[in-house]
A and B are shown apart, each in its own frame.
Chain A
Amino acid sequence: MNETELKGMIESILGELVKAKGLDSVEPAKRTKEVNKLGDSVGSNIISNEFLPDISEVDLKKQLLVDNPHDREGYLKMKSYTAARLGVGRCGTRYKTQSVLRFRADHAAAQDAVFSDVNPELVEEMGFIPVRTVCKNKDEYITRPDHGRIFDEANTEIIKQNVKKGAKLQVVVGDGLSSAAIEANIRDVIPALKQGLKKYNLDFDKVLFVKYCRVPAMDPIGEISDADVVCLFVGERPGLVTAESMSAYIAYRPTVGMPESRRTVVSNIHKGGTPAVEAGAYIADIIKNMLEKKKSGIELK
């Protein structure tokens, strides 16, 4: 339908409406003007360079949607301590539009973090050795947690070829449930860890990158590499607060099928939680302690 046809159609509909409401007296000129206005907004293609404000840029801790609050400052002070969505100005299920849009935006970011891949350029830039578990795609990865922890022969061979056998420490990076977490933190955490280890004359060799990685994927790597300590950085299941949270799972001589309690965890590594550089520095201390005590997880405490 071209513009003229559209205009004509709207005109006739409006005409009938006016007649039906007995508003014949409206001057024809005015009527046409209104029709034109309507036609413009529907048919023409005005390109604007303006952007809609990005709602996910708003710091929720500083946003109070309650109308006429009794104590705005007090409420904001309270909100500054939590990432919870307080002060949305409504109770029950009918949120304000802003809240609904933000909720959906955050949810979308969380889903993207799960379903997207870590940029291969990042893997290359960091000099990681890329390997993958037996999962063939994200769907299999999501639905079969048991597949996210085993390697086929070809990948086992790549791991074997690239790790220094019997090293003190093997570092592994896995996409896990958030590729965004790896992209946001890995550049800062790896050098901070390296620098922290230097204090104790410790170091690590090539870093493995595991695609479709579940936490226990570190166990076969431990067995293949015969490393004393395996440290896995993995993307955490994203929530609505952040999609960029990463954890480190660290174990002393991990073996396939070992109890989960043997893993030491440092979670919440993201810019609103523990800064990546501080986490790297802190993990260096944990690893040194682990090597000294020859144990990990709850036994280490």
Chain B
Amino acid sequence: MDKETLLTVGIDLGTSTTQLILSELTVENFASAFTVPRIEISDKKVIYRSDIIFTPLINQVEIDENKIKEFVALQYDKAGIVKDDIKMGAVIITGETARKSNSSKVLQALSGYAGDFVVATAGPDLESIIAGKGAGTETLSREHRGNIVNFDIGGGTSNLAMFRAGDVVDTACFDIGGRLIKIDSDSHTITYIAPKILEIIEKKHLSLAVGNHVVPEDLMPIIDELVNALEQSIGLGEETPFYNLLITHHDLKIKTDVNAVTFSGGVADCIKADNVTDWFQYGDIGLLLGNRIKNSLFFTKCHVLDTVETIRATVVGAGSHTAEVSGSTISYTDEILPIKNVPVLKLAKEDEQLKASELAAQIRSKLDWYLTDDNQLTNVALSFQGIKSPSFADIQRYAMGITEGVAKLREAGFPLLIIVTEDMAKALGNSIYSMLPEKSPFVCIDSIVAENGDYIDIGTPVAGGNVLPVIIKTLVFN
């Protein structure tokens, strides 16, 4: 097999901006002709970057779905591609936009509109990871020692992702962004203040309110608190009383021992902005926030590294870094592909060591977690670690436990989906196949890590049918 390229799309609906990129992933077999294939993604290249538009809203609580569709159609047209060219991709809805009332609906509609296998993703953890990968922090962490944290500071939130030697170690999210206070760029009057900022204003007894005319100095007490919280998130500087208030869902578990940081998101460009004459030219506090970060402890007490992407980090991450490929020795029946939005059930390590009959019982009882509100079965992808270089007896045990355990799903007509981390899916798939009634649909893939709460999408085969493209994501809305 020679190289094969896949066209992917990434769409980011952020608090303030919406953008789209197209990228090309190269899939290549790295093994010699004398061993089993080892197919991996060898290159990721962004081939088209859209205009950046303000996220269209109908009102403060609703996203304008039609305007976004128009935008996507226009960009595809400009790039000279049609929807069918796109092999896979991801739409991500981030920051405050994810909290709009129709966000889930828009996301689902858009993912179908953008391409057959473009998936919807959201959730602050995933957003942090995607932004960190898009910014290039993941790559930097392979070249530099220790922990590197990327701060993706957008309009509504700051997403932190800590990387170490190319692995994601931790994530965090804060309600800190450039558009938490909006200011009319002509009259310099405040037009919007985010709820958490209002709380800080109240506690600090500041006289800031919608309609007030402001100069930068008036806003500095707020900006200081925001930057202090960012510093504190990696253990720099004094503690701010508003730290806990500003946490979106959780902070970093390890706050010390950060060797370097990177900045991405719209505010990262504001950090670099020089000779600013009008601090409110973007109608928000982005420039003030950026400037304050430039004069913060990050630049004196820590190492700041350059990123490859700033405002486009999240969209590049969504387009280029969400898709992975399965291991190269797998087993599946292809008429059921692609598969979208299937929740993952991860077996505990202890479950995996059980006898086949006990394993089956464990699976049966855990499947009940996934009953719908009206007690209907939904399909579930079964995920587990597996064994490094298993014996044939191990394979039989797993296969028996699984086939027996998921009988209910199979009888309900769902295809069997198995995800293993260790390299054993082909033998396991064959065993399962031999135990299933003839022509039962199934997919058994390896070299993929999926946890409880994740959702999985599996695309149509690439590389001569040797591997399946996979996107692991979370659809959890806060």
Q: Does chain B have a CB within 8 A of A271?
A: yes
Q: Does chain B have a CB within 8 A of A77?
A: yes
Q: Does chain B have a CB within 8 A of A111?
A: no
Summed over the interface, the residue pairs from A and B with CB atoms below 8 Å come to a total of 80
B388 near A199 (CB under 8 angstroms)?
no
Which of the four size classes fits the interface of chain B? 20 to 34
Q: Does chain A have a CB within 8 A of B389?
A: yes
Once the chains are docked, how many angstroms separate the CA of A116 from the CA of B226?
A: 72
Contact partners of B395 in chain A: CB under 8 A: 192, 277
B431 near A279 (CB under 8 angstroms)?
no
With A71-B145, A73-B165, A188-B392: A278-B427 Cβ-Cβ less than 8 Å: yes
Q: Say which residue of B165, B389, B434 sits within 8 Å of A276 (CB atoms).
A: B389
Q: Does chain A have a CB within 8 A of B34?
A: yes
> Which A-chain residue is minimally distant from B427 (CB atoms)?
A277
Q: What does DSSP make chain B's interface, helix, strand, loop or mixed?
A: loop
Once the chains are docked, how many angstroms separate the CA of A263 from the CA of B282?
A: 68
Q: Does chain B have a CB within 8 A of A267?
A: yes
A281 near B34 (CB under 8 angstroms)?
no
Mark interface residues in B393-428 (1 if CB within 8 Å of A CB, else 0). 001000000000000000000000000000111110
B329 near A281 (CB under 8 angstroms)?
yes
Once the chains are docked, how many angstroms separate the CA of A138 from the CA of B338?
A: 55
With A275-B423, A277-B427, A278-B427: A74-B145 Cβ-Cβ less than 8 Å: yes
Contact partners of A275 in chain B: CB under 8 A: 388-390, 423-424, 427
Q: Does chain A have a CB within 8 A of B75?
A: no
Chain B: minimal CB distance from A55 (Å): 22
Q: What does DSSP make chain A's interface, helix, strand, loop or mixed?
A: helix
Once the chains are docked, how many angstroms separate the CA of A77 from the CA of B392?
A: 31
Q: Does chain B have a CB within 8 A of A216?
A: no
A277 near B35 (CB under 8 angstroms)?
no
With A195-B430, A198-B434, A284-B430: A273-B35 Cβ-Cβ less than 8 Å: yes
A265 near B34 (CB under 8 angstroms)?
yes
Q: Say which residue of B145, B423, B425, B430 sits within 8 Å of A192 (CB atoms).
A: B430
Once the chains are docked, how many angstroms separate the CA of A199 from the CA of B145?
A: 49
A281 near B427 (CB under 8 angstroms)?
yes
A280 near B427 (CB under 8 angstroms)?
yes
Once the chains are docked, how many angstroms separate the CA of A281 from the CA of B392?
A: 11
Q: Does chain A have a CB within 8 A of B263?
A: no
Once the chains are docked, how many angstroms separate the CA of A198 from the CA of B430?
A: 8
Q: Say which residue of A192, A267, A277 sits within 8 Å of B34 (CB atoms).
A: A267
Q: Does chain A have a CB within 8 A of B331?
A: yes
B392 near A192 (CB under 8 angstroms)?
yes
Interface centre among A77, A282, A301, by most B CB within 10 Å? A282
With A187-B392, A282-B329: A274-B427 Cβ-Cβ less than 8 Å: no
Contact partners of B433 in chain A: CB under 8 A: 199
Contact partners of B165 in chain A: CB under 8 A: 73-74, 77
Interface centre among A192, A271, A275, A284, by most B CB within 10 Å? A275
Q: Does chain B have a CB within 8 A of A291?
A: no
Contact partners of A239 in chain B: CB under 8 A: none
Mark interface residues in B114-151 (1 if CB within 8 Å of A CB, else 0). 00000000000000000000000000000001000000
> Which B-chain residue is minimally distant from A270 (CB atoms)?
B389
Q: Does chain A have a CB within 8 A of B36?
A: yes
Mark interface residues in B1-38 (1 if CB within 8 Å of A CB, else 0). 00000000000000000000000000000000111100
With A188-B392, A191-B392, A275-B390: A282-B426 Cβ-Cβ less than 8 Å: yes
CB within 8 Å of B: which of A277-301?
277-282, 284, 298, 301
Once the chains are docked, how many angstroms separate the CA of A277 from the CA of B390?
A: 7
Chain B: minimal CB distance from A263 (Å): 10
Q: Does chain A have a CB within 8 A of B277?
A: no
Once the chains are docked, how many angstroms separate the CA of A281 from the CA of B434?
A: 12
Q: Say which residue of A271, A273, A278 sits within 8 Å of B329 (CB atoms).
A: A278
> Which B-chain residue is minimally distant from A272 (CB atoms)?
B389
Chain B: minimal CB distance from A300 (Å): 10
Q: Does chain A have a CB within 8 A of B391?
A: yes
Could you list 25 A-B pairs, sorted by A, with CB under 8 Å? A73-B145, A73-B165, A74-B145, A74-B165, A187-B392, A192-B392, A192-B395, A192-B430, A198-B434, A265-B34, A266-B34, A266-B36, A267-B34, A275-B388, A275-B423, A275-B424, A276-B389, A277-B395, A277-B427, A278-B426, A278-B427, A280-B392, A281-B426, A281-B430, A298-B33
A-B contacts besides A188-B391, A268-B35, A278-B423, 14 pairs, CB < 8 Å: A188-B392, A192-B392, A195-B427, A196-B426, A266-B35, A266-B36, A267-B34, A271-B389, A275-B389, A276-B389, A277-B391, A279-B36, A280-B392, A282-B329
